[in-house]
Amino acid sequence: MEPVYNFGAGPAKIPESVLKRAQVELLNYGNTGMSVMELSHRSKTFGEILARTKSNLRNLLDIPDNYEILFMQGGATTQFSAIFYNLVAAKQAAIGEDKDIAVDYFVTGSWSNKACQEAERLSQDMPHVRVNRVADAKKLTGKYGQVPAQDTWQLSDPEQTAYVYYCDNETVHGVEFANVPEVDPRVPLVADMSSNFLSRPVDVKKFGVIYGGAQKNLGPAGVTLVIVRKDLVVDLKKGPLRPLMLDYQTMLDNDSMYNTPPTFAIYMVGLTLEWLLEHGGLTGIQVVNARKSGKLYDAIDRLSLFKSPVQPDSRSKMNVVFNLTTPELEKEFLKGGEERNMVQLKGHRSVGGVRASIYNAMPEEHIDKLIEYMEEFQNQHAA
């Protein structure tokens, strides 16, 4: 079979060696005579899988002991609600339910906008909770294409702020924060890292919560990883009424197994973490990712038919979005890509264009093939 070049944004490419190992173990995991998909989540065997996955994640990110790791369901989108409920509860537990509270949001693309909209919706019946847009890139510049400059930020009073949220990498618009935003250290910083999770080293101590869906850089869809500082996990009786499945304390008390967890997805995440450790950890993969994205952006800037809508200092190393000079050329380029087994290059339905998602598992040779095709297309169509 001819190789397929999968540039999908998620579910996305999984390392081939991970898939092959899962294939070998599929029918008989650890001499149990059963597939991982058939193991009880209460079994000793699955307990070992869960513990090893946690340990490897803690090792890769150097997660301090005062942070917990949760495996939740519902994707990163469900965390829009969970973050609001749990961190408002933590702030109310600290200062009282009758005190005014702010929740701050950086809005740099469609996902952070949706997260902010969910907070705005949930706060409607909470007169003491105010949702503040620290900086909205679209309102500032007319489009999502850069991280707003720090002198445009309007952060709330730290004494009142329950958390500051940002989306580290906007999958749709190809916008990524080059650095962690500087906020008052008294305020928990929350990062949605769904599409650049484990693509580079992160200082976990700077955050109150880090979360991400697995289906981009970690494995198949179905599980969401949440890293939360222990002091932000409060009793269910404190703060706003919230569903048990969204409550961090409930998840922590039950080792992420209040109900049946997505066992196979967790197993696959575990295999991917082992793959990362074998390939130099986060420092090693950061070098590879910088090289892969760098050569692709160089091609976009060099070839006259292609252009990036994202400011250079905000360009994502995971989701490279670009346009051609006319819609007709874009359509032809995408068609030619499919003929060359380059799949899922079409941009998100809300913005169009072209998007090459080049996560950790994307081999560098596949980037080279895409660049070769871009150069060929340029030579055929440039005036």
Q: Encoding tokens for residue 327?
A: 């819609």
Instruction: Look up 111 and say whether it is catalytic.
Output: yes
Q: Which amino acid is at 163?
A: Y
Active-site hit among 216, 292, 317, 346: 216
296 touches 320 (CB < 8 A): yes
268 touches 286 (CB < 8 A): no
Distance CA 318, CA 289 (A): 8
Instruction: Look up 192 and say whether it is catalytic.
Output: yes
Active-site hit among 13, 54, 104, 111: 111
Q: Encoding tokens for residue 106?
A: 């950086």
Residues with Cβ within 8 Å of residue 48, at least 6 apart in sequence: none
Active-site hit among 168, 192, 275, 346: 192
* C-alpha distance from residue 67 to each of 11, 64, 121, 268 (Å): 28, 6, 29, 23
Q: Which amino acid is at 136?
A: D
Element (H, E) at 175: strand 175-176
Pairing label, strands 101-107, 161-167: parallel
Instruction: Look up 216 and say whether it is catalytic.
Output: yes
Rg (CA), the chain: 22
* Residues present in the chain in total: 383
Nearest to 342 by CA among 316, 325, 365: 365
Residue with tokens 């991280």: 147
Pairing label, strands 169-170, 354-357: unpaired
Peptide bond into 363 cis (omega under 30): no
In which region does residue 350 sit, left (phi positive, over 0), alpha (psi from -120 to 50) or beta (all else)? alpha
What are the residues facing 307 on neighbouring strands? 323
- Catalytic positions: 111, 192, 216
